[in-house]
Every structure is written in C-alpha cells, then in structure tokens.
C-alpha cells in the first residue's frame, strides 16, 4: 500500500458515495446510465469472487464487500426504487459491443488460463470501458448535472491515481502487471475529454454543457 | 520481476 493507491481507493469510494447520495437525496437517478452501473456490478462481481479464495487483508476484504454491495444497491435504486426517474431513452449504448470483445480478449490475453484468472482479466478489461454508456449518455443529452460531473471526476481520478501507484510499485517493488496497467491507461484516457470539460466548466461554476 | 497472478489490488 502506498499513498497513490490509498488516494485512488478513496477517490473510488468517494465516487460511489457521491452517486448514491445524489440518487438518495434527489430521489432521482436522472442523467445516470443504468447500463454503466450494470457493467460495474458485473465488473466487481467477476473480480471479487476471490473474496472466498484469496485473503489479502481486512482492508482489502472490507473494500471488496463495499464495492460489490454498493454496485447492487445502485442497481436496486435505479431499476426498482426510483425506476420512474431513470432516463432510459437516453441510455442506449449497445453494451454487447463492449461485452463481446472484452470476453474474447480475456480468453486470449490473460496471465493464466484458469477460471478465476479469466474472470479477473475479464473484469479488468470490462472496467476499462464500463463508463462508455455513461459518457455516451452525457454526449447524447449534451449536458450533465454538477453532481454527476463530480461523480465522474472522482471515478476517473481513481484509475489515474492507480497509474501513479503502478509506477511507484515498479520502482520500489519491481512489481508490475501489464494487463492492469494497459487497461488502466485505456480507462484513464477515456476520461481525458471529460476532465478537460470538468476543469474548464464545472470548476468555474458552470454546468457541464457540450457545444451543440 | 512480475509477481504471478497475485491480485492484491482492488
């Protein structure tokens, strides 16, 4: 554990808390992509099945349980409790275009051809692109509420901080995991456009609005 | 060197 990873994890935690609070306080999930949230739930389920096979630390276990539980809580809020506020007309990204390539890639490019390892690899590749339905939704409606922007910023920062963590680990532990690194870089790059808008608009008090 | 399939990160 180093400061970059801890900051990354905290950023991830913050993103989820922001999202849940937004939905809970406003009693609405408008502007949030249910498809991205389904992909995140699938990501954490596939990756954290090792909860029962691989003990790392109490911190690790608590965080994994939190990520799995909150991803399903989000889905419950979106698809059941506040279903009437879910903006499904704008949430139309075809997730099979992500799931199919990610599954094939996980079967071909992995560290070891075993069930748990392929699930882990699948989750790493899927997480890298899971935000695309959300970004697609923002581009389709041309805007995002400030609170949604803060959520996206915290979520994007998390993998960026992990990249610093991987650089740190490479120099201090000689540890590196190419699959995680490449997928993490792809994941972060997908947020670049959004980061630019966040700094130039949202932080100056303006709403995130895309040029028509 | 790479630690094989030791996923200690989240």
Q: With a cut of 70, say whether residue A55 has pLDDT above it.
A: yes
pLDDT of residue A101: 98
Domain locations along chain A: 3-204
Per the CB < 8 A criterion, the answer to whether A144 and A203 are in contact is: no
- What distance in Å separates residue A19's CA from the closest CA in chain B? 19
Report CA-CA distances (Å) from A89 to A86, A119, A212.
9, 31, 19
Question: Which value, in Å, is the radius of gyration of the alpha carbons in chain A?
Answer: 17
Find the CB nearest B10 among A9, A54, A177.
Answer: A9
Give the pLDDT band of residue B4 (cuts 50, 70, 90). Answer: low
Count of CB atoms situated within 10 Å of the CB of A200: 11
Distance CA B4, CA A53 (A): 16
B3, B5, B6, B10, best to mutate vs chain A, most A CBs in 10 Å? B10
ipTM summary value? 0.85
Distance CA A100, CA A160 (A): 26
């Amino acid at each position: 554990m180093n400061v970059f990873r801890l900051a990354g994890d905290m950023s991830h935690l913050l993103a989820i808390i922001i999202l849940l609070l937004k939905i809970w306080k406003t009693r609405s999930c408008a502007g949030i992509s249910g498809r991205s949230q389904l992909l995140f739930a699938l990501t954490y389920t596939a990756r954290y099945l090792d909860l029962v096979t691989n003990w790392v630390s109490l911190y690790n276990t608590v965080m994994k349980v939190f990520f799995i539980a909150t991803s399903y809580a989000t889905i419950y809020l979106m698809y059941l409790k506040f279903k009437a506020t879910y903006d499904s007309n704008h949430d139309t990204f075809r997730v099979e275009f992500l799931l199919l390539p990610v599954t094939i890639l996980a079967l071909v490019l992995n560290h070891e051809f075993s069930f748990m390892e392929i699930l882990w690899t699948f989750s790493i590749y899927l997480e890298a692109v899971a935000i695309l339905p959300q970004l697609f939704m923002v581009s389709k409606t041309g805007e995002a509420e400030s609170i949604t922007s803060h959520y996206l910023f915290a979520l994007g920062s998390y993998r960026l901080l992990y990249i610093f963590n991987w650089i740190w680990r490479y120099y201090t532990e000689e540890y590196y995991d190419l699959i995680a690194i490449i997928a993490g870089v792809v994941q972060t790059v997908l947020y670049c456009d959004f980061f630019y808008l966040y700094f130039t608009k949202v932080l100056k008090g303006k709403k995130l609005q895309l040029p028509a | 060197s790479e630690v094989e399939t030791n996923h200690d990160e989240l």
